[in-house]
Amino acid sequence: MRIRIGDIAVALIIAAAGVSLLAGFVPRGDAPELAIVTQDNIELARFELGALGAEQRVEIDAPYHLVIQAEEGQIRFIEADCPDQVCVHTGWLVRPGQVAACVPSGVLIRLEGENRDDLDVILR
Amino acid sequence: MNNDAKRSPARRAAEVGLLAALAMALSYMERLIPPLIPAAPGVKLGLANIATLFAMYQMGVSEAFMVTLVRCTLASLLFGSGTSLAFSLCGGLLSVGVMALMMHIPGVGELGTSMAGAAAHNTGQIAVAATIMRSAALFSYLGWLLLLSIPLGALIALSYQPFKRVMPYIRRT
């Protein structure tokens, strides 16, 4: 297979797009404060991970049975009935900006840090 | 590339069916591989695109669309959920569309086409997911997926190479 100049151009363009998307979502700070669980963008629960104490769990029944486990400083999907299990495989979320999603159920766990915004710059 | 004179509709249907079956088998097989990369759960090798590339280069764009349509629909119905159908189709069809364009750009070969196809497939899927979940948070994940599309697209293009020699044998039967 010959590698042609256009192929390299394509690779560079894709890399540039990938890097810009990653740069746009830089997690800030190391201590996650807030974990927000939403379904179809409607908030179901929020946890102050910094001050949690004992482990807490959220169970969701429809459309798939999901269990979310929140502990001091981290949160994850621990069980899911969905066919692809991507949510469970994501594992623990520990840094602000991290996200875990169960797309078939529409459930999202989002971690936010000290600044409540995910924005880099606010222009007034 | 397209010997339409020799390819009756029945023959084309048979060839598309064969490729679609192959694509589904590849798609099923790669689910057995454990998750590759912790930062990007759910990322798949995209082996089924070997069949798509084959269809694009050896048969034609419409055949490639058919293979993708059949593969995405059946695989989602058999192994996935209702939503995974929307995903899979959007990713797959966008991917074939982009590849069809890329093929014809001078200077872009199978490698570039395959990488662009992988990137388009991931973008389509994340766009659908973000719409369903009504959240832009998933686009951060797309960043990793795009970077991965480069080596994975290359892998698929490489895996396609041995199959280029198969077509004359199929034609002869």
Q: What is the pLDDT of residue B147?
A: 93
Chain A contact set for B75 (CB, 8 A): none
Beta-carbon count within 10 A of A5 CB = 12
> Residue A91 and residue B41: Cβ atoms within 8 Å?
yes
Identify the closest residue of chain B to A103 by CA–CA distance.
B129
* ipTM score for this prediction: 0.85
How does B28-40 read in b/e, with b if 16+ C-beta sit within 10 Å?
eeeeeeeeeeeeb
Please list every residue in chain B whose beta carbon sits closer than 8 Å to the beta carbon of residue A43.
Answer: none
**CA angle (A12 as vertex; B1, B30 as ends), nearest 5:** 65
Give the span between the Cα atoms of A92 and B21, in whole angstroms.
37
Share of chain B above pLDDT 70, in %: 89
pLDDT at position B99? 96
Identify any residues that bridge with A63 across adjacent strands, giving them in sequence order: none
CA distances from B20 to A3, A117, B53, B64, B121 (A): 28, 46, 12, 9, 17
Chain B nearest-CA residue for A11? B150
- For chain B, the residue count is 173
User: By 3-state DSSP, what share of chain A in percent is helix, strand and coil, each rounded to 5?
Assistant: 25, 35, 40
Question: Quick one: how far is CA B170 from the chain centroid?
Answer: 22
Torsion (CA) A80, A51, A72, B137 in degrees, nearest 10: 50
Nearest CB neighbour to A22, from listed B110, B115, B144: B144
> And the tokens for B136?
């832009």
Q: Which of the given ranges, B8-17, B58-67, B76-85, has the highest pLDDT on average? A: B58-67
Considering only CB atoms, which residues of chain A are within 8 Å of chain B? 1-11, 14-15, 17-25, 38, 40-41, 82-84, 86, 89-91, 97, 99, 101, 103-104, 106, 108, 110
Higher pLDDT, B162 or A112: B162
Instruction: Please report the DSSP string for B99-121 in residue order.
Output: HHHHHTSTT--HHHHHHHHHHHH
Query: For residue A122, what pLDDT band results from cuts at 50, 70 and 90?
Result: very low
Task: Return all residues near B124 (Cβ < 8 A) that are at least 6 apart.
Answer: B87, B90, B91, B92, B93, B94, B95
Out of A66-80, A90-104, B25-39, B93-107, the most confident range is: B93-107
Smallest CA–CA distance, residue B139 to chain A, in Å, is 7
pTM of the prediction?
0.81
Mean of the per-residue pLDDT values of chain A? 81
B166 falls in which pLDDT band (50, 70, 90)? confident
Of B121, B145, B125, B122, the C-alpha closest to B133 is B125
How far apart CA B116 and CA B153 sit, in angstroms, is 8
pLDDT in tens, B88-102: 888 999 999 999 999
For chain B, list residues whose CB is within 8 angstroms of any CB belonging to chain A. 35, 38, 41-42, 79-84, 87, 102, 105-112, 115-116, 119, 129, 132-135, 137-147, 149-150, 157-158, 161
Phi, psi of B109 (to 5 degrees): -110, -160
Closest-CA residue of chain B to A83: B80
Q: What is the DSSP letter of A108?
A: E
The answer to whether the CB of A26 falls within 8 A of the CB of A97 is yes
Angle at B138 between CA B136 and CA B140, to 5 degrees: 100
Residue B133 confidence class, pLDDT cut points 50, 70, 90? confident
Query: Quick one: which H or E segment has residue A8?
Result: helix A5-23
The alpha carbon of residue B152 and the mean position of all alpha carbons in its chain are separated, in whole angstroms, by: 12
A48 - beta bridge partners? A34
Residue B83 has pLDDT above 80, yes or no: no
pLDDT of res. A116: 45
Using a CB-CB cut-off of 8 Å, the residues of chain B touching A91 are 38, 41
Tens digit of each residue's pLDDT (9 = 90 or more) over A17-59: 999 988 877 665 566 678 888 888 888 888 888 777 788 888 8
B97's tokens: 């569309």
Per-residue confidence at A84, pLDDT binned at 50, 70, 90? confident
Lowest-confidence segment of B8-22, B30-44, B135-149 by average pLDDT: B30-44
Instruction: Give the pLDDT mean for B69-84.
Output: 84
- Mean per-residue pLDDT over chain B, rounded: 86
Nearest to A1 among B84, B145, B161 (CB): B161
What's the pLDDT band for B169 if we cut at 50, 70, 90?
Answer: confident
Q: Among partner residues B109, B129, B150, which is closest to A14 by beta-carbon distance? A: B150
